[in-house]
Amino acid sequence: MTNNKPERRLIWLQPAAAAKPLLGQPCNGCGVCCAAEPCPVARVFLWQLRGTCKALVWLADRQQYRCGLLLEPARYLRILPKFGQRPFRFLVARWIAAETACDSDAHAE
């Protein structure tokens, strides 16, 4: 017999963070997706398989979460040469579909 209950996990987010949008709605920087689990980019480049993403960054002035690998790749990948940062940012934005639509099926309460 299999247990079909979804896994429940407690994640901590800033109180000022926006509520998670519905799947397919525009991304609002709520941070739920990255707090729930690392994306494939974090799995490959940060070797992080579970837990809140190490590169999840809270921008207090914008009241939004953003990907640190997108904002400051050299901070997380010290071997990334300066000339490689801009192309890496471009690739990360495409890989995570940055600022497009919510693609996380995580449910936040």
Position 45 in a domain? yes
Is 100 contained in some domain?
no
Dihedral of CA 94/97/99/101: which sign?
positive
DSSP letters, 52-86, are S-TTEEEETTTTEEEEHHHH-HHHH-TTS-GGGHH
Provide the domain limits for residue 91.
32-95
Mean pLDDT, residues 11-18 taken together: 91
9 occurs within a structural domain: no
Radius of gyration of the chain (CA): 15
| Residues sharing a CB contact under 8 Å with residue 93, sequence separation 6 or more, in sequence order | 70, 99
Total of domains in the chain? 1
Q: Is residue 7 part of a domain?
A: no
pTM listed for this prediction: 0.84
pLDDT at 1 over 90: no
Q: pLDDT over 70 for what percent of the chain?
A: 94
Residue 90 lies in a domain: yes
Within a domain: residue 77?
A: yes
Residue 2 reports pLDDT greater than 80: no
Q: 3-class DSSP state for residue 92?
A: helix
- pLDDT greater than 90 at residue 4: no
109, part of any domain: no
pLDDT tens-digit readout, 64-100:
999 999 999 999 999 999 999 999 999 999 998 888 8
**What was the pLDDT predicted at 32?**
93
CA distance 9 to 11: 6
The pLDDT of 18-46, averaged and rounded, is 92
Lowest mean pLDDT among 25-39, 42-56, 95-109: 95-109
Assess if residue 64 is contained within a domain. Answer: yes
